Structure 1
Amino acid sequence: MEEALVKLNVAGASIAVVKDGQVIHQKGYGVASITTKEKVTEYTNFQIASNTKAFTAAALAILVDEGKITWDDKVKDYIPEFKMYNDYVTDNFNIVDLLTHRSGLGLGAGDLTFIPDGADFTVKDLFGIFQHFKPVSSFRTKYNYDNLLYIIAGEIIARVSKMSYEEFIQKRIFNPLQMNSSFVGDSNIQDAKNVAAPHSAATGELKKIDRFAIGMIGPAGGIYSNVADMSKWMLTQLNKGRYGDDLKSLLFSSASSGKMWTIQTVLPNYISERYNTQFNGYGLGWVLNDMRGHLTAMHTGGLPGMLSQVMLVPDMKLGIVVLTNTENGGGGLAFAITRAILDSYFGLDDAEWIDNRARNLSRNIGATDAVTKEVWAQVDSLSGIKYNRQNLMGMYNDKWFGQMEIYEKNGELRIRSLRSPKLNGRMFFYDKNTFAVKWDYQDMNCDAFVIFDYSKRGKAQSFKMKGISPSIDFSFDFQDLDLKRID
């Protein structure tokens, strides 16, 4: 862990390993914040991001076990306002579909409603948002990772249980498992002690960035937890829902455990001679595959400056969780440490995973830098070009994302979203009908192109967008926007 922090330029991380029903290692490394220098401990809370999805699946499993819902129940029976991109999909979309990334929508469709944080979209906005997207595959045929449908799943939990999602997770999962320091969302952040600060190393220099505000995305990625609490969660999962000293208490049934660990959506199999992997797919909140003949259930999580990984090997009674607080290298650290520990249990040779991830990180940063530097170099070379700003300025509207304005301020051409205030930046001429946007928000690498469509008179009538960097986070789904002039 200490070697990985240095080689992958990560501020801090924590890890827990459980084996045969016992916690065998649980410790923090590095610092929770480079400004305060506070040390990471096993009780330091991190945003676990998409590792929240397994909790949402477990919450639904609890309701299934109690007979309050079934996995095959239609979403519209609980949320009549719910509407997909055609009537057949709307009528047949069930609870399992919410959790399995097989909706037919594209990767991260609609994620701009919550990333960057600070937008004013609510859960109610999501009920009708999906009708405005064009499917990229047939319903239930292909995997495309989705966040918004997990938020809908959280709404079903709230409507059936008559309590908020946050309250349900607290009362029905955290309290029974004595995950006493864990919580969902931002409301408890002021009372929480020892919370890791997010960092970025995108420029090569480690810097502290603002904490991502959870807002409406609790069921998709809103939990704060630490490895001491996550050990209890992993042990419960490995015991198929049973917990407590005598394992007589039941969080969810063995049948529900089996359902969550059954592949629902097939993923492309990746060739792994090292692990003899034969299958790969997604269950309910878990990625499922095999390594050296063992079923594994795992998930990663990522928010700005926060990366995590949970790995379970049920028949070995083995669980590993790694939480980190640094963009770029944090995901590589979680992967490298998890693989190194797995390899030791599998009896494999040392693959030098830390050096492997460090090389990958350097290569990826280099490739990204090359592309973005070329774009901004071209922008600089054309800084003197003349164009009619008035033909671009005005208000534009997208059916699901709302209005964006192109305007002039202090002699600069700028663009801003009326619903997502952090999407506000300066526009630079790039090529013909294309401009490059440098957002004021720079905690993530998300600068974008704006591509105009002009009328015969030369006035912009609409524009589309796409990310500049090849490694832009998929949640910046600029490509799904279709903005039409409204004034």
Structure 2
Amino acid sequence: MKKIFFIAFLLVSLTSFAQLTSEQIDELANKTLKTFNVPGIAVAVIKDGKVVHSKGYGVRSLKTNEPVDENTLFGIASNSKAFTTTALGILIDEGKLKWDDKVTKYLPNFKMYDPYVTKEFTIRDLVTHRSGLGLGSGDLMLWPDGTDFTPTELVNNLRYLKPTTSYRNNFEYNNVLYVTASEVVAKISGKSWANFVQERIINPVGMLNSVSDVNTLKENANVIDPHVPTDGKLVIIPRYNKHIFDGAAGIYSSVHDMSKWALVQLNNSKLADGKNLLSEEQHKELTQLQTIIPANTKAPYNTHFSGYGLGFFLSDIKGYKQVSHTGGLEGNVTQFTLIPEIGLGIIVFTNQQSGSAFSTITNTIKDSYLGVATKDYLKIYSERESETFKTHEKTMAEAFAIAKEDFNFPFAGKYKDNWFGEIILYKKEGKYYFEAKRSKNLKGQILSYKDNTYIVKWDNRSLIADAFITFENKGKKATMKAISDYTDFSYDFQDLEFHKIVTKGGKK
């Protein structure tokens, strides 16, 4: 009761239109840590060309209890996408490509499911989430960590991903096409995406501690461990280290370094030495609306338009243009927000996967600069998160209440999906198991559910992605889907279509 009252008192005290002081941000961040069970948070605020706040809270890892500071490195995840579009913009400034060049001009093996789409698909299409592919389509080649796909294989496998909407008709967030864009950067520049971004963007911006490839982190680096709520407690998991994800989500940075990135963005791509990272034309292009997203027009921000540019989400809030992005890896989420017209930047990184934590801090700080009477975001988001998780727990409990370990399973054998590869369903010591050949973390026990539908319970309980598998046509075909809507969209089980492998002798 006292704790809730104090949180309410704190936020009521912030409802004046004065900009938050560093001390108030300290209070807010520390309360956010406790409310959302986040071990560590880092926050930076940029205003009118200066960093007015840059600080860490909590610990990098529950294992070491070393403190988070402004130089602690986090996986910025999808905030890496703007670095990919900036890399393309640099190559455009150099006259080496154009946004509306066809992808096949640079990657001859590029092919989408529809031949017409293949022929018309442009560099711009790669980075604007309007391909016609569904949300997260193909992400199982990247996610969870432990897959063995190469970028070349990923590009080749695009031809097997079936569209869910018309080409250029809808916004559907997609990672694999950003990986494809990073291959374009590599092909044109003659360098890997990681090397190009490090040399041409990260170093010139002055992001001295940031890396474009997690595998280049020093052994004693000031870096977080990711934490995932698992069976009622926080579990430390390994940092995502698969190189294939770089162009979509590969950079590790700190709020100190990302403040420099924000300053460059707020200063029209002008670097500290007076040189331009991008031409004014290309800088503006990155934040022009490319793909429309339906707007949610209501107080306090009164947003009338929303959409995606080139590596950034765009919207209007209280009459100002907002340029932003979020990023998420398992156990690590980030948010980057700019309001250029008032010279404002807000950066929030966390080492737990609660988006509610970064939203609480960002929105409270943002409201104080917009002159908006801020809401009690701690209460709003904690209640929303609690309700969402309760629904998830109820869904899972209902599914597992029906599940059985002791049953006759007639569908054992090998199956193959065109883009994901082979799985094997087998019996061992009286139990049945699912194992993906190309994704070592997708391994788990099969349980009976209903009729020809079964549950796959992953051995790695931090995945939060248990799935149904359903067999059709006497076991010749199998499809999957996540049991719970709470499961991250990158587990795109619904895009899989397995067919049983038949040997030359006719056996399955």
Q: Same fold (TM over 0.5)?
A: yes
Counterpart residue type for residue 308 of structure 2: Y
Query: What displacement does 1:214 show?
Result: 2.9
In the alignment, is residue 415 of structure 1 matched against residue 434 of structure 2? Answer: yes
Q: What residue number does 1:40 align with? A: 68
Query: What displacement does 1:383 show?
Result: 4.5
Quick one: which of 368, 371, 383 aligns to 2:395? 371
Quick one: which of 96, 105, 115 aligns to 1:68? 96
Mapped contact 1:415–1:424 kept (Cα < 8 A): yes
Deviation larger for 9-18 or 270-279: 270-279
Query: What displacement does 1:276 show?
Result: 1.1
Query: What displacement does 1:201 show?
Result: 2.1
How big is each residue's C-alpha offset from its partner over 1:164-183, in whole Å with a ceiling of 9 and x where there is no partner?
A: 11111111011111101101
Quick one: which of 195, 201, 204 aligns to 1:176? 204
The separation in 1 between residues aligned to 2:221 and 2:158, in whole angstroms, is 38
Mapped contact 2:210–2:251 kept (Cα < 8 A): yes
Q: What residue number does 2:500 align with? A: 485
The separation in 1 between residues aligned to 2:231 and 2:72, in whole angstroms, is 26
Q: What residue number does 1:112 align with? A: 140
Q: What residue number does 2:375 align with? A: 351
The separation in 2 between residues aligned to 1:115 and 1:175, in whole angstroms, is 29
Q: What residue number does 1:186 align with? A: 214
Mapped contact 2:264–2:270 kept (Cα < 8 A): yes
Cα RMSD, aligned residues only: 1.2
How big is each residue's C-alpha offset from its partner over 1:398-417, in whole Å with a ceiling of 9 and x where there is no partner?
A: 11111111001122100111
> How has the CA–CA distance of structure 1 residues 296 and 230 changed in structure 2, closer, same or farther, with 3 Å as cutoff?
same
How big is each residue's C-alpha offset from its partner over 1:15-40, in whole Å with a ceiling of 9 and x where there is no partner?
A: 11111000000000000001100000
The separation in 1 between residues aligned to 2:147 and 2:337, in whole angstroms, is 33
Deviation larger for 336-345 or 188-197: 188-197
How big is each residue's C-alpha offset from its partner over 1:113-158, in whole Å with a ceiling of 9 and x where there is no partner?
A: 0111111111111222122122111111101000000011111111
> How has the CA–CA distance of structure 1 residues 293 and 202 changed in structure 2, closer, same or farther, with 3 Å as cutoff?
farther
Query: What displacement does 1:202 show?
Result: 4.4
In the alignment, is residue 238 of structure 1 matched against residue 266 of structure 2? Answer: yes
SS of equivalent residue, structure 2 residue 476: strand
The separation in 1 between residues aligned to 2:374 and 2:315, in whole angstroms, is 22
Mapped contact 1:56–1:219 kept (Cα < 8 A): yes
Q: Count the aligned residue pairs.
A: 474
Mapped contact 2:424–2:434 kept (Cα < 8 A): yes
TM-score (norm 1): 0.95
Q: What residue number does 1:121 align with? A: 149
Q: What residue number does 1:338 align with? A: 362
The separation in 2 between residues aligned to 1:227 and 1:279, in whole angstroms, is 29
In the alignment, is residue 26 of structure 1 matched against residue 41 of structure 2? Answer: no
SS of equivalent residue, structure 2 residue 63: coil
In the alignment, is residue 439 of structure 1 matched against residue 458 of structure 2? Answer: yes
In the alignment, is residue 158 of structure 1 matched against residue 174 of structure 2? Answer: no
In the alignment, is residue 254 of structure 1 matched against residue 280 of structure 2? Answer: yes
The separation in 2 between residues aligned to 1:95 and 1:192, in whole angstroms, is 39
Q: What residue number does 2:314 align with? A: 288
Counterpart residue type for residue 467 of structure 1: A
Mapped contact 1:181–1:192 kept (Cα < 8 A): no
Mapped contact 2:211–2:253 kept (Cα < 8 A): yes
Mapped contact 1:123–1:151 kept (Cα < 8 A): yes
How big is each residue's C-alpha offset from its partner over 1:87-113, in whole Å with a ceiling of 9 and x where there is no partner?
A: 211111111101000001111111000
Counterpart residue type for residue 270 of structure 1: N
The separation in 1 between residues aligned to 2:271 and 2:74, in whole angstroms, is 23
How big is each residue's C-alpha offset from its partner over 1:322-375, in whole Å with a ceiling of 9 and x where there is no partner?
A: 010002x3x111111010011001111130112211111111111100100111
The separation in 2 between residues aligned to 1:207 and 1:89, in whole angstroms, is 43
Mapped contact 1:264–1:282 kept (Cα < 8 A): yes
Counterpart residue type for residue 200 of structure 2: R
In the alignment, is residue 305 of structure 1 matched against residue 331 of structure 2? Answer: yes
Query: What displacement does 1:191 show?
Result: 4.1
Where do 5+ consecutive residues of structure 2 fail to align? 1-28, 502-507
Deviation larger for 348-357 or 421-430: 348-357
Mapped contact 2:458–2:466 kept (Cα < 8 A): yes
Counterpart residue type for residue 464 of structure 1: T
SS of equivalent residue, structure 1 residue 121: coil
SS of equivalent residue, structure 2 residue 88: helix
Q: What residue number does 1:86 align with? A: 114
Q: What residue number does 2:23 align with? A: none
Mapped contact 2:215–2:241 kept (Cα < 8 A): no
Identity within the alignment, %: 42
Mapped contact 2:286–2:309 kept (Cα < 8 A): yes
SS of equivalent residue, structure 2 residue 463: coil
Mapped contact 2:235–2:462 kept (Cα < 8 A): no
Counterpart residue type for residue 176 of structure 1: P
Q: What residue number does 2:195 align with? A: 167
Mapped contact 2:327–2:333 kept (Cα < 8 A): yes
Mapped contact 2:214–2:251 kept (Cα < 8 A): no
Mapped contact 1:185–1:214 kept (Cα < 8 A): no
SS of equivalent residue, structure 1 residue 312: strand
Query: What displacement does 1:192 show?
Result: 5.7
Mapped contact 2:405–2:431 kept (Cα < 8 A): no
Deviation larger for 201-210 or 311-320: 201-210
SS of equivalent residue, structure 2 residue 61: coil
Mapped contact 2:230–2:461 kept (Cα < 8 A): no
Q: What residue number does 2:420 align with? A: 401
How big is each residue's C-alpha offset from its partner over 1:268-290, in whole Å with a ceiling of 9 and x where there is no partner?
A: 11132211111000000000000
The separation in 2 between residues aligned to 1:69 and 1:92, in whole angstroms, is 16
Quick one: which of 461, 472, 489 aligns to 1:474? 489
How big is each residue's C-alpha offset from its partner over 1:290-332, in whole Å with a ceiling of 9 and x where there is no partner?
A: 00000000000000001000000011111011010002x3x11
Q: How does 1:257-268 map onto structure 2 within 5 Å?
A: 257-268=283-294
